[in-house]
């Protein structure tokens, strides 16, 4: 018994030792497995993990450039950058956005408008970009969030420079505004250059000169910890700020033009005939561009969009109107340039004109007719029959050729986004668009600026400037000079000049004399704006409104009002050495001489005599037709 | 007592080299290794806590107390421990049951028992109580164990493992279970039985899966494909692999690890401290650490192999294996070869619970080692 037990115990011990050795081998093998794994991680894939580790801690932070400022010709600030603080939510870092917003609203007031903007911006944003839930935090709100902010991971106060337009509605169409970058725009821009930018020019100069104004993004490398806190700044590339823009615009003149136009629908464009610089450009009614910067609410936007007076619509460069009689000086010049007629050659007006072999009567505005008229009188009295005859004699092709030299029928190329080019009707155009042949009668209608013929107020002003300076078409410009930064030299923009291919001074003088008599002459249609201070040359126009548009729901009085003719006036002054060329259109304003010409006079007074115009509310009387 | 009459020649020879250390029942090689590891651990902890002297100091105090505990335990003879085996096991089971009934909820799991003056995890007790119980039971049988013994041992293992698993604490269940399996293996289980147990485990795995909590399954799934959830459950694994991998052969230098110092590495001072070592000391530093650990394990197995009775042998062997499983599960988890289960790196991770258990175990090893010549003297 003892013996077997002894044997058994010895056997047990031997057995145990065997097993212990086996376990030791197992241990060594297991540790070798771990070591092999470590070899794989630390030697074979070392480079890979080094990269990942650097990616973790080194963040490339874009530094957005400061947007260039916009000044008028006297240094009045039109577009400024002001510091603003927004509360932003980065959805990637927030588990329950709704709950977070609910909790945030106990700290800072969050309105329906804020929520709506947030919902709208959410799908448009880029990845890992904060979406603003509240804009323009005041100091108290910032302080409250600073204390409680740790409770809201993924919610941050973003300090940025926000665009502000000190002149508000006065520059709404011209300067335009910036807004948050949307998906469509994201497709078109150089994304890396906009890495830190939230805003982009949407309208007007802000959009057209986006490249100048935006500047170029900078970068800085920073070492961050797991919570994203910057621990150490590494190398950096400073951003290149956007260029400051100096405009030809004169803010006093702009305000006066707006005041002169009052609350009527229409546009005023004033151009310096020597430079092509736009001195004033007003489209009425106007709107305040500032709410668009942060993101205007849907309701507020819908109100602007659906307003029957269409305040968002820039009539100065997008409004296309039949130029009516304002086109007659250009037709007359075409007659002289082509040699079809001379200044003294008389044409008979019996109240109407008939094409040979046709019975249709093309009527003059004066039923009884003007009798026999030379060119100057035809312009002064705006005789339609004279211009029917002239147009008929020239033919549409020659007529169009010269009108095109004055840049009718295509955009002037002014540096404002969204400019339209009007329409200069031609047989090719009609065949292409309407698939119909050209009728000789249509040539006559072009001759008095009606029919399909359309021009923008800017086109009319630019063409008038070409008469004022004696035959040089200068592409209108908004920006006169740019500057890399404060203190850097101003770099002027270059005018594009194109001489009208008729440089006979006598021809130009004939037209200018005729236009002078429109204002100065006994029978002139704009005699009421005559002044002793300086002499004005001009031409009135009245153009028919053909369609009412989608205005079915408006009451009769209003429809009747909107059926009235548009009133136009183009002119320049002083005639000896023109310093300003003006085009005015008042929608449904009635007769050009009565409604549009006084507005042009007010603008000229402002510019030439430094005479301020009364505030719009006071100017309301006296504009009844 | 009759089985203790056997005289071990080698042990007798050994005893000549030992003086006062032996009287204090301290095994010098093991003590030196543990001190080395502890010092290494404190050094790394200083880096892993973001250079918090306060935390290092607290951990140093814990280590000191745990070493005192170890030496205290070493004073108890294996015979006394043997007498404690059954009561300790039963108490442990009762406490586990109590945890399930009255335990404190923490992070969705009931692991803690609050005794008013002391909060502790009864599952820790089982890490030692189970090997003791098994060693006690198997030492009464003739070895290798017969089928009936295996069934009894299976129950002795299965009961606490199941209770711990229900808490749920996958990591500890794994540790306790493998301690039991190791004891069984050391007892000389026959190979064909081992083979059939492996087959049985293969069959039981799907069953285990069905018993798992969702978050445990998620961990296993995430382990299989960490990229599937890079910011959630996979974040730990990915960040720890980045830390280790970017350390390379020589490491980024002590206190220089970007992953750990900039807190990209989660739980850097506790369960994932191994990744800090990998990042800052590189493969070379880790190999040194692994050699230290290996030395501890080999010393433990050698103590077990030299022990004079079956109880001491089995207990010493399985305690050593508990230590190894700790190590392996933690390293495997941090390097991404095993799923994430909350097991600390022994003697290095910040915290006191596992330290107490481990030092208790090393105390037993020392007791076993230093009692051999006393037996010889009898």
| Å between B139 CA and nearest CA of chain A | 10
Cα angle value B196/B202/B204 (rounded, 5°) = 100
**Euclidean distance between CA atoms B128 and B225, whole angstroms:** 34
Residue A5: inside a domain: no
**Domain boundaries, position A207:** 58-76+167-247
pLDDT of residue A283: 95
Same domain, A158 and A261: no
- Name the pLDDT band for B24 (thresholds 50, 70, 90): confident
| Å between A94 CA and nearest CA of chain B | 13
- Cβ atoms of residues A550 and A559 within 8 Å: no
Q: Residue A551, Cβ neighbours under 10 Å: how many?
A: 12
Partner-chain residue, chosen from A16, A28, A57, that has the shortest CB–CB distance to B305: A16
Residue A581: inside a domain: yes
Residue A122: inside a domain: yes
Over residues A301-316, the pLDDT tens digits come to 899 988 888 999 999 9
Work out the percent of chain A whose per-residue pLDDT is above 90.
56
Same domain, A346 and A200: no
Same domain, A583 and A434: yes
**Euclidean distance between CA atoms B275 and B240, whole angstroms:** 6
**Euclidean distance between CA atoms B199 and B193, whole angstroms:** 10
**Domain boundaries, position B272:** 2-377
Nearest alpha carbon to residue B321 among B151, B208, B193, B184? B184
Choosing from A146, A162, A178, the residue where a domain stops is A162
For B140, name the nearest residue in chain A, comparing CA atoms only: A9
- Cβ atoms of residues A530 and A520 within 8 Å: yes
Q: B interface mutation test: which of A32, A49, A93 has the most B CBs within 10 A?
A: A49
Which helix or strand (DSSP H or E) is residue A483 part of? strand A479-483
pTM: 0.67
pLDDT of residue A259: 94
Report residue A153 CA to chain centroid gap.
39
Same domain, A112 and A237: no
- The tally of domains found in chain B comes to 1
- Cβ atoms of residues A245 and A482 within 8 Å: yes
Residue entry with tokens 């006071």:
A618
Same domain, A243 and A255: no
Q: What is the ipTM of this complex?
A: 0.89
Residue A621 has pLDDT above 70, yes or no: no
Chain A hits for B328, Cβ within 8 Å: 30-31, 34
Q: Which H, E and C letters describe chain B, residue by residue?
A: CHHHHCCCHHHHHHHHHCCHHHHCCCCHHHHHHHHHHHHHHHHHHHHHCCCCHHHHHHHHHHHHHHHHHHHHHHCCCHHHHHHHHHHHHHHHHHHHHHHHHHCEEECCEEEEEECCCCEECHHHHHHHHHHHHHHHHHHCCCCCCCHHHHHHHHHHHHHHHHHHHHCCCHHHHHHHHHHHHHHHHHCCCCHHHHHHHHHHHHHHHHHHHHHCCHHHHHHHHHHHCHHHCCCCCHHHHHHHHHHHHHHCCCCCCCCCCHHHHCCCCCCCCCCCHHHHHHHHHHHHHHHHHHHHHHHHHHHHHHHHHHCCCHHHHHHHHHHHHHHHHHHHHHHHHHHCCCCCCCCCCCCCCCCCHHHHHHHHHHHHHHHHHHCHHHHHHC
Strands A70-71 and A244-247: parallel
**Euclidean distance between CA atoms B136 and B90, whole angstroms:** 13
Give the lowest-confidence range in A114-118, A453-457, A604-608: A114-118
Same domain, A418 and A536: yes
Same domain, A175 and A201: yes
Mean pLDDT along residues A69-87: 92
Residue B113 has pLDDT above 80, yes or no: no
Report residue A295 CA to chain centroid gap.
17
Same domain, A405 and A516: yes
Same domain, A96 and A243: no
**Euclidean distance between CA atoms A430 and A426, whole angstroms:** 6
Q: A interface mutation test: which of B236, B242, B322 has the most A CBs within 10 A?
A: B242
**Euclidean distance between CA atoms A257 and B121, whole angstroms:** 86
- Name the pLDDT band for A463 (thresholds 50, 70, 90): very high
A23:B144 CB<8 A: no
**Euclidean distance between CA atoms A459 and A545, whole angstroms:** 19
- The number of residues in chain A equals 625
Same domain, A324 and A419: yes
- Name the pLDDT band for A523 (thresholds 50, 70, 90): confident
Beta bridge partners of A349: A371
Residue entry with tokens 């630019």:
A462
**Euclidean distance between CA atoms A18 and A268, whole angstroms:** 106
Over residues A548-570, the pLDDT tens digits come to 444 444 445 565 777 788 999 99
Partner-chain residue, chosen from A38, A50, A231, that has the shortest CB–CB distance to B278: A38
pLDDT of residue B109: 58
Partner-chain residue, chosen from B2, B241, B301, that has the shortest CB–CB distance to A23: B301
Choosing from A227, A247, A267, the residue where a domain stops is A247
For B338, name the nearest residue in chain A, comparing CA atoms only: A34
Tokens of A163: 């665009």
Same domain, A132 and A172: no
| Å between B263 CA and nearest CA of chain A | 5
pLDDT of residue A524: 87
Mean pLDDT along residues A204-209: 95
- DSSP secondary-structure letter at A321? B
Over residues A160-199, the pLDDT tens digits come to 888 999 999 999 999 999 998 888 888 888 888 888 788 8
CATH of the domain at A65: 3.90.1310.10
CA end-to-end distance (rounded Å), chain B? 11
- Cβ atoms of residues A582 and A464 within 8 Å: yes
pLDDT of residue B1: 40
If you average pLDDT over every residue of chain B, what do you get? 84
**Euclidean distance between CA atoms A215 and A400, whole angstroms:** 42
Q: A interface mutation test: which of B335, B336, B346 has the most A CBs within 10 A?
A: B335
B101-105 contacts at long range (C-beta below 8 A, 24 or more positions apart): B103/B167
Q: Residue A611, Cβ neighbours under 10 Å: how many?
A: 12
Over residues B137-164, the pLDDT tens digits come to 998 887 788 888 888 999 999 999 988 8
Chain A hits for B331, Cβ within 8 Å: 34
Same domain, A441 and A555: yes
Sign of the torsion angle spanned by Cα atoms B309, B312, B314, B320: negative
Residue B117 has pLDDT above 90, yes or no: no
pLDDT of residue A553: 46
**Euclidean distance between CA atoms A379 and A185, whole angstroms:** 48
- The tally of domains found in chain A comes to 3
**Euclidean distance between CA atoms A219 and A215, whole angstroms:** 13
- At residue A187, the 3 state secondary structure works out as helix
**Euclidean distance between CA atoms A146 and A590, whole angstroms:** 61
A27:B297 CB<8 A: yes
Residue A329: inside a domain: yes
Residue entry with tokens 């085996």:
B85
Residue entry with tokens 């409004």:
A319
- Cβ atoms of residues B206 and B139 within 8 Å: no
Tokens of A81: 């950058």
Residue entry with tokens 């509360």:
A87
- DSSP secondary-structure letter at A454? B
Tokens of B30: 């093991």
Residue entry with tokens 């000896």:
A576
**In sequence order, what are the residues at sequence separation of 6 or more whose Cβ sits closer than 8 angstroms to the Cβ of residue B337?**
A33, A34, A37
pLDDT of residue A341: 93
Chain A hits for B298, Cβ within 8 Å: 24, 27
**Euclidean distance between CA atoms A520 and A543, whole angstroms:** 23
Partner-chain residue, chosen from B188, B245, B304, that has the shortest CB–CB distance to A45: B245
């Amino acid at each position: 018994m003892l013996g077997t037990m002894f044997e058994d115990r010895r056997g047990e011990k031997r057995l145990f030792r065997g097993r212990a050795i086996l376990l030791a081998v197992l241990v060594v093998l297991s540790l070798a497995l771990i070591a092999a794994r470590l070899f794989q991680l630390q030697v074979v894939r070392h480079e890979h993990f080094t990269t990942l580790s650097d990616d973790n801690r080194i963040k490339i932070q874009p530094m957005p450039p400061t947007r260039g400022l916009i000044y008028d010709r006297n240094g009045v600030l039109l577009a400024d950058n002001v510091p603003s603080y927004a509360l932003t939510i980065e959805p990637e870092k927030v588990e329950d956005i709704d709950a977070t917003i609910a909790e945030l609203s106990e700290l800072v007031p969050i309105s329906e408008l804020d929520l709506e903007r947030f919902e709208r911006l959410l799908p448009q944003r880029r990845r890992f970009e904060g979406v603003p839930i509240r804009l323009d935090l005041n100091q108290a709100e910032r302080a409250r969030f600073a204390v409680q902010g740790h409770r809201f991971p993924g919610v941050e106060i973003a300090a940025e420079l926000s665009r502000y337009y000190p002149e508000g509605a006065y520059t709404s169409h011209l300067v335009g505004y910036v807004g948050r970058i949307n998906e469509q725009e994201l497709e078109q821009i150089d994304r890396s250059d906009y890495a830190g930018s939230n805003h982009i020019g949407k309208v007007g100069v802000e959009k057209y000169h986006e490249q100048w104004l935006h500047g170029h993004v900078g970068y800085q490398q920073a070492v961050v910890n797991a919570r994203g806190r910057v621990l150490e700044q590494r190398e950096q590339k400073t951003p290149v700020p956007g260029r400051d823009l100096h405009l030809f615009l004169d803010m006093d003149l702009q305000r006066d033009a707006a005041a002169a136009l009052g609350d009527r629908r229409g546009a005023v464009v004033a151009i310096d005939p020597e430079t092509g610089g736009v001195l004033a450009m007003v489209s009425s009614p106007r709107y305040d561009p500032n709410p668009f910067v942060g993101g205007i609410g849907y309701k507020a936007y819908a109100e602007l969009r659906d307003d029957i007076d269409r305040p968002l619509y820039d009539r100065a460069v997008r409004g296309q109107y039949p130029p009516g009689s304002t086109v007659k000086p250009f037709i007359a010049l075409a007659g002289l340039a082509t040699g079809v007629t001379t200044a003294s050659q008389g044409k008979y007006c019996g109240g109407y004109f008939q094409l040979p072999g046709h019975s249709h009567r093309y009527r003059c505005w004066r039923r009884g007719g003007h009798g026999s008229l030379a060119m100057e009188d035809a312009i002064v009295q705006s005789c339609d029959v004279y211009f029917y005859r002239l147009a008929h004699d020239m033919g549409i092709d020659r007529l169009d050729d010269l009108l095109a030299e004055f840049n009718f029928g295509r955009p002037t190329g002014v540096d404002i986004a969204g400019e339209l080019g009007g329409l200069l009707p031609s047989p090719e155009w009609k065949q292409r668009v309407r698939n119909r042949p050209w009728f000789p009668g249509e040539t006559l209608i072009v001759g008095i600026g009606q029919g399909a013929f359309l021009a923008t107020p800017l086109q009319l002003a630019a063409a008038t400037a070409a008469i004022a300076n004696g035959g040089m078409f200068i592409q209108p410009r908004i920006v006169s000079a740019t500057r890399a930064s404060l203190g850097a030299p101003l770099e002027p923009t270059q005018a594009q000049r194109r001489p009208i291919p008729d440089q006979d001074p006598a021809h130009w003088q004939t037209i200018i004399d005729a236009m002078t008599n429109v204002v100065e002459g006994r029978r002139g249609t704009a005699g009421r704006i005559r002044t002793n201070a300086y002499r004005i040359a001009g031409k009135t126009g009245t153009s028919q409104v053909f369609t009412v548009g989608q205005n079915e729901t408006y009451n009769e009085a209003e429809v009747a009002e909107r059926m009235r003719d548009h009133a136009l006036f183009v002119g320049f002054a002083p005639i000896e050495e023109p310093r300003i060329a003006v085009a005015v259109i008042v929608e449904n304003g009635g007769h050009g001489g009565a409604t549009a010409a006084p507005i042009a006079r007010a603008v000229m007074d402002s510019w030439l005599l430094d005479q301020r115009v009364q505030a719009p509310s006071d100017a309301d009387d006296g504009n009844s037709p | 007592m009759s089985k203790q009459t056997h005289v071990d020649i080698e042990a007798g020879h050994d005893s000549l080299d030992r003086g006062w250390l032996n009287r204090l029942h301290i095994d010098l090689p093991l003590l030196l290794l543990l001190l080395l590891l502890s010092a290494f651990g404190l050094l790394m902890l200083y880096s892993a806590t973001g250079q918090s002297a306060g935390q290092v100091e607290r951990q140093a105090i814990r280590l000191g107390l745990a070493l005192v505990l170890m030496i205290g335990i070493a004073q108890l003879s294996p015979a006394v421990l043997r007498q404690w085996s059954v009561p300790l096991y039963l108490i442990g089971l009762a406490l586990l049951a109590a945890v399930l009934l009255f335990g404190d909820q923490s992070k969705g799991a009931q692991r803690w028992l609050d005794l008013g003056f002391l909060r502790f995890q009864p599952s820790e007790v089982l890490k030692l109580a189970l090997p003791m119980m098994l060693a006690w039971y198997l030492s009464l049988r003739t070895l290798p164990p017969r089928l009936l013994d295996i069934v009894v041992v299976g129950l002795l293992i299965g009961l606490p493992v199941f209770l711990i698993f229900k808490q749920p604490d996958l990591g500890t269940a794994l540790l306790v279970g493998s301690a039991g399996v190791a004891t069984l293996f050391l007892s000389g289980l026959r190979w064909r039985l081992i083979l059939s147990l492996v087959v049985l485990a293969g069959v039981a795995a799907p069953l285990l899966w069905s018993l798992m909590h969702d978050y445990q399954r998620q961990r296993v799934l995430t382990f299989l494909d960490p990229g599937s959830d890079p910011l959630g459950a996979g974040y730990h694994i990915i960040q720890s692999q980045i830390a280790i991998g970017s350390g390379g052969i020589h490491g980024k230098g002590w206190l220089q690890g970007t992953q750990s110092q900039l807190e990209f590495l989660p739980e850097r001072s506790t369960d994932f401290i191994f990744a800090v070592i990998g990042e800052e000391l590189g493969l070379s530093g880790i190999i040194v650490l692994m050699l230290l650990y290996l030395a501890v394990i080999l010393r433990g197995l050698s103590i077990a192999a030299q022990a004079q009775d079956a109880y001491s042998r089995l207990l010493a062997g399985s305690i050593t294996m508990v230590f190894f499983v700790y190590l392996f599960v933690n390293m495997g988890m941090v390097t991404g070869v095993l799923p994430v289960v909350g097991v600390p790196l022994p003697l290095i991770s910040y915290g006191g619970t596992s330290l107490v258990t481990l030092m208790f175990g090393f105390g037993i090893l020392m007791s076993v080692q230093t009692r051999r010549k006393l037996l010889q003297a009898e």
